[in-house]
A and B are shown apart, each in its own frame.
Chain A
Amino acid sequence: MQPLNKERIIAASVLISVLIVLFYIIPTYIETSEEYHATGLSPAFFPNIATIFIGALAVLFLSLTFIKRWAHFFNSEGESWLSPTEEMKAGLSCAIIVGYLLALKYVGYLIATPPVILGLFFLQGERNIVKSIIITLVVTIGIYFLFQNLLNVQFPQGKLFK
């Protein structure tokens, strides 16, 4: 996709999000009352200001993408990001991290952590199982000892074991 078109989509997305926040989220999720409006001190005052600020910037952003003179701002040649394959790998890592969060809730730290570390090592290309297991155990127990015993942090034990 052309860089400018991508930037226009980003600007439009921000603008749509602003409209949703301004006309739906703020009226629905901020408690208001007539008495708050007396001196413009409504709880919605600052969120409205921030949202309108973002909206104005989004409009400016979108407008600039249509002006040739400013188009160069949106060409990011020479900047490296991840390839599509690498992005998928990053996405998979995110999924593992989210899975780890859920696992912590149900089975606790000591059971959830080793498979996650092993999974990430595998995803990173490590195929030496013995080395992976040793490092995993050292890290899991080391962090447990550091936080639980030295810093008095009680690790989650998991709902299944309570």
Chain B
Amino acid sequence: MIESLVAGFSIIMHWEPLLAIVAGSVVGLVIGTIPGLTSTMAVALMLPLTYDLEFVTAIMLLVGAYKGGIFGGSITAILLNTPGTPASFCTVLDGYSLTKQGKGVKALKMAKYSSVIADVFSDIVLIAIAAPLAAIALKFGPPEIAMLILFSLTVVAGVAGKSMIKGLIAGGAGLLLACVGLDPIFAVRRFSFDVVHLDGGISLIPLLIGLFALSEVIFQLGRKSRTEADQFTIKHSPLPEDNRVSWLEFKQSFRTITRGSIIGTAIGIIPGIGVGIASFLSYARAKAASKNPDEFGKGSLEGIAASESGNSAVVGATFIPLLTIGIPGDIITAVMMGAFLIQGFTPGPLLFLNHATLIYAIFIGFFICDIVYFVIGTLFMKYAAYLSKVPRKYLFPIVMIFCVVGSYAIQQSLFDIGTMVVFGILGFIMTKFKFATAPLLIAFILGPIGETALRQSLLMSGGSLNIFFTRPIACAFLIVTVFSLIGIIRGIIKKSKVTCD
């Protein structure tokens, strides 16, 4: 590991990856700051820019955008009462209250410190456990992979949104869409409809740009302009103590930051759960454990620390399932998986075996990202409020053009633009009827892996399902899947009883 770290250090310390980190962080901060644009969109829109870049440079550009986007979302959450990304929802509760008291800068600084500490924590965990986990994952055969995918698909229920049934239907649709193309075992056409372009399946990048970026653009193009952002002015207190976080205030929040880092990291490791839930859980736990729970929601620095540490700690941890077993931890790492595939690298344990130095270069890049967005975030905070006032009438048409060009750039095919438009419209319709789109994407990515593994397992066993019970790791995943399903069903029933009461 030490040799790989040293070799990785020599790879990352070149101007291209470092410039990519800075550029990605700036773009992520800018996009995350603008309400209506999410960090997912930031990464999805930056993806086409990575085609011609080297692997490490490409990934660092996207990681910078991811981390910058998460922090960017907190800036508008604090200053303008508008979460720039869903992960910043809890930050609004206390951040905006502090801004109304003229202490917006204090709130921003606490958000910054919490985010960076949590990020570093989760990056350390990533480095510490990724390689050992990858070594265990190398022992996985098709039955283990099939059961792991099955477990991951049940966890998709966690991103199913408010209606779990609709989310699961979207997941099922993702599995079905993944079947378009050639059968992985017999290489016969499935759902090609005699269209040559569909023989290779539906392209992932146009699908995700359409589903996440274009659908949002269509929604925003329909919406009437809101004027409150233009009318808003930010209060500033002249007192120095209102514009900084004192050592005492930091010390009082340190336990909260640590708790949030642990919660965020744990959530990030489990595929399918994601940033918003980590932020919310961290906030809820901090409030329960606080000596001053009544202050939460009224301008508590601890509240900001809890939310920001929770949502930032997820980032590094979501790469653990992606890099070790090839399963994206959340939507954004699902997008990142596209970047890996474009570069010709398949995430999973073999990546550690064959390209350890590149992976460790990326790990070191994560730390550099944390330093960069700490510095850039400090400079950026002064101008962020102006960015969020960019008129929508200019912004979203331009984003639409980026979506079109970005989809075209992959294979320079107009069919890909068509795919992107179809999924953009589908994403818009799904959102209208309250079907979550994230389960569709995750199932679309996991489906082919799961199908191939399932069918290979059945080939190995001569068609018998016993293979999933006789192999210990596969059986363990199956048991965990059953418990996960029971937990989900119990949660639904409990929610039904509580709401009825």
Which residues of the other chain, A, contact B447 by a CB distance below 8 angstroms? 46, 50
Given the interface pairs A113-B401, A147-B405, A153-B408, the reply to whether A57 lies near B185 with Cβ below 8 Å is no
CB distance from B142 to the nearest CB of A (A): 13
B458 touches A47 (CB 8 A): no
Which residues of the other chain, A, contact B402 by a CB distance below 8 angstroms? 143
B421 touches A101 (CB 8 A): yes
Tell me the interface secondary structure of chain B in the complex. Answer: helix
Which residues of the other chain, B, contact A43 by a CB distance below 8 angstroms? 183, 185-186, 188, 190
CB distance from B356 to the nearest CB of A (A): 29
Given the interface pairs A117-B397, A121-B397, A143-B401, the reply to whether A90 lies near B219 with Cβ below 8 Å is yes
B428 at the interface (CB under 8 A from A): yes
B49 touches A53 (CB 8 A): no
B400 touches A120 (CB 8 A): yes
A69 to B500, CA, bound (A): 7
A50 touches B190 (CB 8 A): no
A1 at the interface (CB under 8 A from B): no
A104 touches B414 (CB 8 A): yes
A41 touches B421 (CB 8 A): no
CB distance from A24 to the nearest CB of B (A): 12
Please tell me which one of the listed residues A69, A72, A105, A151 contacts residue B52 in the complex, with CB atoms under 8 A apart. Answer: A151
Which residues of the other chain, A, contact B49 by a CB distance below 8 angstroms? 151
A87 touches B222 (CB 8 A): yes
B292 at the interface (CB under 8 A from A): no
A86 to B432, CA, bound (A): 12
CB distance from B459 to the nearest CB of A (A): 7
A121 touches B393 (CB 8 A): yes
Given the interface pairs A39-B459, A69-B500, the reply to whether A47 lies near B190 with Cβ below 8 Å is yes
Measured CB to CB, the nearest residue on chain A to B218 is A90
A25 touches B434 (CB 8 A): no
A60 at the interface (CB under 8 A from B): yes
CB distance from B235 to the nearest CB of A (A): 28
Please tell me which one of the listed residues B189, B433, B496 contacts residue A69 in the complex, with CB atoms under 8 A apart. Answer: B496
A30 touches B190 (CB 8 A): yes
B499 at the interface (CB under 8 A from A): yes
A125 touches B225 (CB 8 A): yes
B102 at the interface (CB under 8 A from A): no
A152 touches B52 (CB 8 A): yes
Number of interface residues of B (CB under 8 A): 67
Which residues of the other chain, A, contact B389 by a CB distance below 8 angstroms? none
Using C-beta atoms within 8 Å of the partner chain, give the interface range for chain A: 35 or more
Find residues 111-139 in chain A having any chain B CB closer than 8 Å to their own CB: 113, 116-117, 120-121, 123-126, 135, 139
CB distance from B386 to the nearest CB of A (A): 17
A82 at the interface (CB under 8 A from B): yes
Please tell me which one of the listed residues A41, A54, A154 contacts residue B176 in the complex, with CB atoms under 8 A apart. Answer: A54
CB distance from A128 to the nearest CB of B (A): 10
A99 to B190, CA, bound (A): 29
A38 to B353, CA, bound (A): 37
The 0/1 profile, CB within 8 Å of A marked 1, for residues 47-90 of chain B is 01101100000000000000000000000000000000000000
Find residues 66-114 in chain A having any chain B CB closer than 8 Å to their own CB: 69-70, 72-74, 76, 79, 81-82, 86-91, 93-94, 97-98, 100-101, 104-105, 109, 113
CB distance from A17 to the nearest CB of B (A): 9
Please tell me which one of the listed residues A25, A70, A100, A121 contacts residue B191 in the complex, with CB atoms under 8 A apart. Answer: A25
Which residues of the other chain, B, contact A98 by a CB distance below 8 angstroms? 421
A72 to B235, CA, bound (A): 41
B451 at the interface (CB under 8 A from A): yes
CB distance from B221 to the nearest CB of A (A): 4
A93 to B400, CA, bound (A): 10
B424 at the interface (CB under 8 A from A): yes
Which residues of the other chain, A, contact B454 by a CB distance below 8 angstroms? 46
A47 touches B179 (CB 8 A): yes
Q: Which 3 A-B pairs have the closest CB atoms?
A: A90-B222, A124-B393, A39-B463
A-B contact pairs, 10 of them (CB 8 A): A39-B463, A41-B455, A50-B175, A54-B169, A74-B163, A86-B222, A91-B222, A126-B394, A135-B394, A139-B398
Q: Enumerate chain A interface residues (CB-CB to B < 8 A).
A: 10, 14, 21, 25, 29-32, 36, 38-41, 43-47, 50-51, 53-54, 57-58, 60-61, 64, 69-70, 72-74, 76, 79, 81-82, 86-91, 93-94, 97-98, 100-101, 104-105, 109, 113, 116-117, 120-121, 123-126, 135, 139-140, 143, 147, 151-156
